[in-house]
Amino acid sequence: MAIYIDESQHIFHLQSRVTSYVIQIVDGFPLLVYWGQRLSEKGNLENLVPRLEKKEPDSMPQEYPQYGTGDFRSPAYQVQLKDGSRITELRYKGYSTGAGKPGIEGLPYVYTESDHEADILELELEDAYSGLTVLLQYSIFMDGAITRSASFKNNGQSTVRLLRALSANVDLYGKSNYELLYLAGHWAREAQLQRRPLGPGGTSLGSRRGMSSHQHNPFAAVVSPGADEEHGEVFAVNLVYSGNFHAEAEVDNFGVVRLGIGLNPFDFCWMLAPGESFQTPEAVLVYSNEGIGGMSRIYHRLYRNRLCRGVHRDKERPILVNNWEATYFNFTADKIEAIAETGSQLGIELLVLDDGWFGKRDSDNSSLGDWVEDRRKLPNGLRDLAERIERQGLQFGLWFEPEMISPDSELYRKHPDWCLHAEGRRRTEARWQLVLDLSRSEVRDYLYNALADIFANVPVSYVKWDMNRPLTEICSAAALPENQQEIAHRYVLGLYELINKLTTAFPHILFESCSSGGGRFDPGMLYYMPQTWTSDNTDAVERLKIQYGTSLVYPVSTIGAHISAVPNHQVHRETSLKFRGDVAMSGNFGYELDLTQFTDAEKIQVKEQVAMYKEHRSLIQKGDLFRLRSPFQGNETSWMFVSEDRCEAIVFYFQVLAKPNPAADVLQLRGLEHTYTYEVSGKSGHVGTFHGDRLMQAGLIIPPLTGDYTSVWFKLRAAH
């Protein structure tokens, strides 16, 4: 990868192994004149788009568009000056280049480990009248991923109001017949794939909930008509952020598609005093001409290796058992130890004690904020329980919901103003709880000390960091009136500061984030916590869609997936243990039920599942994912994981409902080495020895499956 600069034409060519991204400065405006498959020519890149000679802002493919001087489309930013005007004209001032990638203070970001991994381009823009400067920061990675962020600096004499500050904007020529792909849903139904034709006008996605949300993931892609898992063009954006975001795709009157993503401008206003800077979160842009699957694999590798951090990044993740659906709030230390004891016999590695161990929390209506063990349930304390679990041979994990406060808690009685609230107004409760004001340092300090104290005294190896309600009354008792519209963002910055401090101080702890399942499944959280509880919906049929959708952007190592009891607690469906196991094994595997209730026959099956997962855990968690059949398109779902050296693979195939007189299916596999010979085996033994090209072109025969909720898997090992 490299950055080629044509000084005479003011052209910047960001070139990776597979993609090119070309910016040209015209009339002082940076324009995106090309983004797509790699252009081999380093220079000679003028006239890549039409109409530029007209120099009309409204028809130019702007890199960081502004409103008020003739571009009538959605702008990337807006600033209000002291005189009330909202006109700024950022013009190119200069550039710099470098190797590697700079970090971002206080925000999560994709990083490099050596300067060879990425190249940097920074374009400086200036509004001469106000003295505002904006640094557009780019890094291009070998695989073609491009990170973008904008840094505003007020060099003027008076405070300006930053009303809008997206992280990235791309204007794409000739794509008006393309489609918009995104992920939508709600609680217990996250990451549902949405696809619709683009047309004149705009489509916007986003969150105003203070969290990235179950409703929309901070991801959007413009895809060529008919693009599938292997073919077609994909232009994707994903925001490394966990709060209110906004993404928009707008087709203008010339058929140019404007795709932008960043902080949600709704209810946002940042007061930027003279000399101060404001940095937007980072956006990660991915282009693929190998379809949606190609895009996913670029995101997966980047996020697995250069977004997730810490000692757990490259480690195989433990198989856990969580007591939530086993006991809810009703447990004793003996019960938890009994689950761990059975878990140990079955090969499970970690026990997670979920909600209900602190304060007087017998239901969800009290005690959040009082992070002190409940001696009624744990008579000898938390440390004693953790040690009992460890003596059973399992690591001990613990649930927290640190961002919350119950009105019925000691903390609330002591600090009623520590929650987000507007003076004199109702405090909207959700699940009986309010949200702590993480924009305040004393609140963050309290939480740090409360948790650090436990981590220092109890052998905690894993933390489930939950967050179970959206933000309302987003006001801070500690902020001035003019700063109140900063609080939603300051909340997220406060959260990042807190979790950065905790994860740095306790690097051995594996953190998993959760927000009523996938309400905050975003790259921002993954930077601090390398896995996320994907959904509160543990029904295996529902999980096919949820995990498939989530895998569009996020690597399998980040996707928490557990086997739960039947009838399922969310949808009351009965599915076989085998089916539930195969679905959960396609993620970060665990159990979420009372293991002591298993029959002997079930225990044998669970032992096999655990052994199977351990054997293939590295392949599943670190391999390349190829999605073969979509649950959004039919009764069958299939995906496979292929090792980096292509010597090993595992294929999962699921059938939701039985079919009369079923026929065999033929599955064209992907990602194998054409010339390798693979030994294929299933649960009942050797299936055959086949060439990679045969398996990918002619396909693997899947025998007819009988019954609802059935599944099979096949292992492939290169015999070359």
CB of 326 to ligand DGJ, least distance (A): 12
Residue 650: partners with Cβ closer than 8 Å, 6 or more residues away: 616, 619, 620, 640, 641, 713, 714, 715, 716
For the bound state, the minimum distance from the C-beta of residue 316 to ligand DGJ, rounded and expressed in Å, comes to 22
CA distance 417 to 476: 9
**Residues near ligand DGJ (CB under 6 A), total:** 11
Q: Which residues are known catalytic residues?
A: 466, 536
Out of 354, 408, 542, 648, point to the residue binding ligand DGJ (CB under 6 A): 354
Q: Which stretch binds ligand DGJ (CB under 6 A): 23-31, 76-84, 108-116, 512-520?
A: 512-520
Type of residue at 239: L
C-alpha–C-alpha distance, residues 23 and 12, integer Å: 5
Report how far residue 602's alpha carbon sits from residue 619's, in angstroms, rounded to the nearest whole number.
26
**Minimum distance between the CB of residue 517 and ligand DGJ, rounded to whole angstroms?**
5
Which CB atom, from 262 or from 318, has the smaller least distance to ligand DGJ? 318
6's tokens: 């044509």
Contact 46, 30 (CB under 8 A): no
74 by Cβ neighbours in 10 Å (0-12 / 13-18 / 19+) ranks as buried
Q: Identity (one letter) of the amino acid at 441?
A: S
From the DSSP assignment, how many helices (H) and strands (E) are in the chain?
A: 12, 38
Which of 119, 248, 355, 522 touches ligand DGJ (CB under 6 A)? Answer: 355
User: Considering only 233-241, 255-263, 514-522, 593-601, which stretch makes contact with ligand DGJ by CB under 6 A?
Assistant: 514-522
User: Which pair of tokens denotes residue 135?
Assistant: 């640094």
Interface with ligand DGJ, residue 374, by CB under 6 A = no
Mark 458-497 with x for binding to ligand DGJ (rule: CB under 6 A) and - for no binding: --------x-x-----------------------------
The nearer residue to ligand DGJ, 20 or 516, going by C-beta atoms, is 516
Which amino acid is it at 122?
A: E
Task: Name the residue nearer to ligand DGJ (CB basis): 531 or 643.
Answer: 531
The 311-340 site mask, x for binding ligand DGJ (CB under 6 A), equals -------------x----------------
Rg from Cα positions in the chain: 26
The verdict on 171 binding ligand DGJ (CB under 6 A) reads no
- Between β-strands 201-206 and 160-172, what pairing exists: parallel, antiparallel or unpaired? unpaired
| Residue closer to ligand DGJ (CB basis): 282 or 355 | 355
Residue 526 CB, nearest approach to ligand DGJ (Å): 17
Cβ atoms of 609 and 346 within 8 Å: the answer is no
In the complex with ligand DGJ, which residue's Cβ is closer, 247 or 595? Answer: 595
Query: 530-549: which residues touch ligand DGJ (CB under 6 A)?
Result: 533, 536
The total number of residues shown for the chain amounts to 720
Nearer to ligand DGJ, 22 or 565 (CB): 565
DSSP tag of 570: T
Q: Contact at 8 Å (CB) between 602 and 614? A: no
Amino acid identity, position 528: Y
Burial (0-12, 13-18, 19+ Cβ within 10 Å), 504: exposed
Single residue of 244, 516, 564, 575 touching ligand DGJ by CB under 6 A? 516
Nearer to ligand DGJ, 109 or 399 (CB): 399
Q: With CB under 6 A as the contact rule, which of the stretches 274-282, 495-503, 510-518, 547-555 interacts with ligand DGJ?
A: 510-518
In the numeric block, which tokens belong to residue 482?
């003019």
Work out how close the CB of 353 gets to ligand DGJ at its nearest, in angstroms, rounded to a whole number.
10
Residues engaged in binding ligand DGJ (CB under 6 A): 324, 354-355, 399, 466, 468, 514, 516-517, 533, 536
